[in-house]
Amino acid sequence: MPRVAILSDTHIPSRRAALPGYVRDELDAADCAIHAGDFDSRETYETIADLAGDLTAVAGNMDPAMDLPRVATRTVGGVTFVVTHGTGSKAKGAYESRVAGIVREHDPEAVGVSGHTHSVLDTEAEGVRLLNPGSATGAAPADRATMYRADVLDGDLELELLEG
Protein backbone atom coordinates (compact mmCIF):
# COMPACT_ATOMS: atom_id res chain seq x y z
CA MET A 1 0.00 0.00 0.00
CA PRO A 2 1.71 3.24 -1.10
CA ARG A 3 2.27 5.81 1.65
CA VAL A 4 2.09 9.53 0.91
CA ALA A 5 3.47 12.22 3.23
CA ILE A 6 1.27 15.33 2.90
CA LEU A 7 2.62 18.59 4.28
CA SER A 8 2.60 22.33 3.82
CA ASP A 9 3.68 25.66 5.23
CA THR A 10 7.14 24.75 6.51
CA HIS A 11 8.26 28.42 6.47
CA ILE A 12 11.97 27.77 6.95
CA PRO A 13 13.88 29.99 7.73
CA SER A 14 11.44 32.90 8.25
CA ARG A 15 9.38 31.30 11.05
CA ARG A 16 11.27 28.12 11.99
CA ALA A 17 14.93 27.11 11.93
CA ALA A 18 14.68 23.51 10.70
CA LEU A 19 12.40 20.61 9.82
CA PRO A 20 11.22 18.71 12.90
CA GLY A 21 12.46 15.14 13.30
CA TYR A 22 8.97 13.66 12.85
CA VAL A 23 8.73 15.31 9.40
CA ARG A 24 12.14 14.02 8.37
CA ASP A 25 11.22 10.51 9.55
CA GLU A 26 7.89 10.53 7.72
CA LEU A 27 9.39 11.86 4.48
CA ASP A 28 12.04 9.16 4.62
CA ALA A 29 9.46 6.39 5.24
CA ALA A 30 6.94 7.54 2.61
CA ASP A 31 6.85 6.32 -0.99
CA CYS A 32 6.24 9.89 -2.13
CA ALA A 33 5.36 13.29 -0.74
CA ILE A 34 3.05 16.19 -1.52
CA HIS A 35 3.91 19.71 -0.32
CA ALA A 36 1.26 22.42 -0.72
CA GLY A 37 3.66 25.38 -0.71
CA ASP A 38 5.33 27.96 1.49
CA PHE A 39 8.68 26.23 1.74
CA ASP A 40 10.08 29.74 2.29
CA SER A 41 13.48 29.00 0.70
CA ARG A 42 15.06 26.98 -2.08
CA GLU A 43 17.19 25.19 0.55
CA THR A 44 14.05 23.98 2.35
CA TYR A 45 12.57 22.77 -0.93
CA GLU A 46 15.78 20.89 -1.77
CA THR A 47 15.96 19.31 1.70
CA ILE A 48 12.37 18.08 1.47
CA ALA A 49 12.84 16.86 -2.11
CA ASP A 50 15.97 14.93 -1.08
CA LEU A 51 14.26 13.34 1.93
CA ALA A 52 11.12 12.46 -0.04
CA GLY A 53 12.87 11.22 -3.15
CA ASP A 54 9.60 11.64 -5.06
CA LEU A 55 8.00 15.04 -4.41
CA THR A 56 5.00 16.79 -5.92
CA ALA A 57 5.05 20.44 -4.89
CA VAL A 58 3.45 23.78 -5.64
CA ALA A 59 4.45 27.35 -4.89
CA GLY A 60 2.89 29.21 -2.01
CA ASN A 61 2.62 32.96 -1.56
CA MET A 62 5.99 32.90 0.28
CA ASP A 63 7.72 31.08 -2.62
CA PRO A 64 7.67 33.75 -5.36
CA ALA A 65 11.27 33.22 -6.49
CA MET A 66 10.89 29.47 -6.85
CA ASP A 67 10.01 27.94 -10.20
CA LEU A 68 7.15 25.76 -8.96
CA PRO A 69 3.67 25.44 -10.47
CA ARG A 70 0.63 26.99 -8.79
CA VAL A 71 -1.33 23.73 -9.28
CA ALA A 72 -0.06 20.15 -9.65
CA THR A 73 -1.85 16.83 -10.06
CA ARG A 74 -0.57 13.51 -8.75
CA THR A 75 -2.13 10.03 -8.81
CA VAL A 76 -0.99 7.41 -6.30
CA GLY A 77 -2.66 4.06 -5.63
CA GLY A 78 -5.69 5.02 -7.68
CA VAL A 79 -6.26 8.30 -5.79
CA THR A 80 -5.75 11.57 -7.68
CA PHE A 81 -4.66 14.62 -5.70
CA VAL A 82 -4.92 18.17 -7.02
CA VAL A 83 -2.46 20.32 -5.09
CA THR A 84 -2.59 24.11 -4.72
CA HIS A 85 -1.52 26.47 -1.96
CA GLY A 86 -4.90 28.15 -1.60
CA THR A 87 -3.54 31.70 -1.64
CA GLY A 88 -6.19 34.33 -0.97
CA SER A 89 -8.73 35.03 1.73
CA LYS A 90 -8.58 32.65 4.68
CA ALA A 91 -12.22 33.32 5.58
CA LYS A 92 -14.15 30.13 6.27
CA GLY A 93 -16.25 29.26 3.27
CA ALA A 94 -14.35 31.51 0.83
CA TYR A 95 -11.16 29.46 1.24
CA GLU A 96 -12.90 26.10 0.80
CA SER A 97 -14.92 27.34 -2.19
CA ARG A 98 -11.81 28.72 -3.92
CA VAL A 99 -9.81 25.51 -3.43
CA ALA A 100 -12.75 23.29 -4.44
CA GLY A 101 -13.11 25.35 -7.64
CA ILE A 102 -9.44 24.82 -8.50
CA VAL A 103 -9.76 21.09 -7.90
CA ARG A 104 -12.91 20.83 -10.05
CA GLU A 105 -11.16 22.69 -12.90
CA HIS A 106 -8.42 20.06 -12.98
CA ASP A 107 -10.20 16.84 -11.94
CA PRO A 108 -13.63 16.89 -10.29
CA GLU A 109 -13.07 13.39 -8.86
CA ALA A 110 -9.78 14.31 -7.17
CA VAL A 111 -8.94 15.00 -3.55
CA GLY A 112 -7.80 18.60 -3.04
CA VAL A 113 -4.66 19.31 -1.02
CA SER A 114 -3.95 22.89 0.03
CA GLY A 115 -2.20 24.93 2.67
CA HIS A 116 -2.06 28.67 3.44
CA THR A 117 -4.27 28.75 6.55
CA HIS A 118 -1.95 26.63 8.75
CA SER A 119 -5.12 24.95 10.05
CA VAL A 120 -5.83 21.23 9.73
CA LEU A 121 -8.78 20.46 7.48
CA ASP A 122 -10.47 17.30 6.23
CA THR A 123 -13.85 18.27 4.85
CA GLU A 124 -16.06 18.21 1.79
CA ALA A 125 -16.87 21.44 -0.03
CA GLU A 126 -18.96 21.67 -3.16
CA GLY A 127 -18.64 17.92 -3.69
CA VAL A 128 -14.84 17.87 -3.34
CA ARG A 129 -12.87 16.33 -0.47
CA LEU A 130 -10.36 18.90 0.79
CA LEU A 131 -7.31 18.26 2.92
CA ASN A 132 -5.10 20.85 4.59
CA PRO A 133 -2.28 19.33 6.65
CA GLY A 134 -1.70 22.52 8.66
CA SER A 135 1.90 23.61 9.19
CA ALA A 136 4.49 20.83 9.43
CA THR A 137 6.69 23.06 11.61
CA GLY A 138 3.92 24.65 13.66
CA ALA A 139 4.63 28.05 12.08
CA ALA A 140 2.30 30.81 13.31
CA PRO A 141 -0.64 31.05 13.21
CA ALA A 142 -0.69 27.24 13.71
CA ASP A 143 -1.17 26.09 17.29
CA ARG A 144 0.83 22.90 16.70
CA ALA A 145 3.02 21.14 14.11
CA THR A 146 0.98 18.78 11.88
CA MET A 147 1.04 16.82 8.65
CA TYR A 148 -0.90 13.92 7.13
CA ARG A 149 0.14 10.36 6.36
CA ALA A 150 -2.02 8.83 3.64
CA ASP A 151 -2.08 5.17 2.73
CA VAL A 152 -3.68 4.67 -0.67
CA LEU A 153 -4.64 1.56 -2.59
CA ASP A 154 -7.19 0.80 -5.29
CA GLY A 155 -8.71 4.26 -4.95
CA ASP A 156 -9.13 4.04 -1.17
CA LEU A 157 -7.54 6.68 1.05
CA GLU A 158 -6.72 6.08 4.72
CA LEU A 159 -5.62 9.28 6.41
CA GLU A 160 -3.79 9.84 9.70
CA LEU A 161 -2.96 13.20 11.25
CA LEU A 162 0.57 13.31 12.65
CA GLU A 163 1.67 15.84 15.26
CA GLY A 164 5.21 16.82 16.10
Average pLDDT on 4-29 reads 96
Q: How many angstroms separate the Cα of 129 from the Cα of each of 12, 56, 84, 111?
A: 28, 19, 14, 5
| 102-143 pLDDT, tens digit each | 999 999 999 999 999 999 999 999 999 999 999 999 999 999
Q: Which pLDDT score is estimated for 23?
A: 97
Q: Is the peptide bond before 141 cis (omega within 30 degrees of 0)?
A: yes
| 18-63 pLDDT, tens digit each | 999 999 999 999 999 999 999 999 999 999 999 999 999 999 999 9
* Interatomic CA distance for residues 56 and 14, integer angstroms: 22
* Interatomic CA distance for residues 14 and 120, integer angstroms: 21
| 141-160 pLDDT, tens digit each | 999 999 999 999 999 999 99
77: pLDDT strictly greater than 90: yes
Check if the beta carbon of residue 69 is closer than 8 Å to that of residue 59: yes
pTM: 0.96
From the list 35, 95, 91, the residue with the least C-alpha distance to 62 is 35
> Under CATH, which number does the domain 3-163 receive?
3.60.21.10
Q: What letter would DSSP give residue 137?
A: T
Average pLDDT on 2-21 reads 95
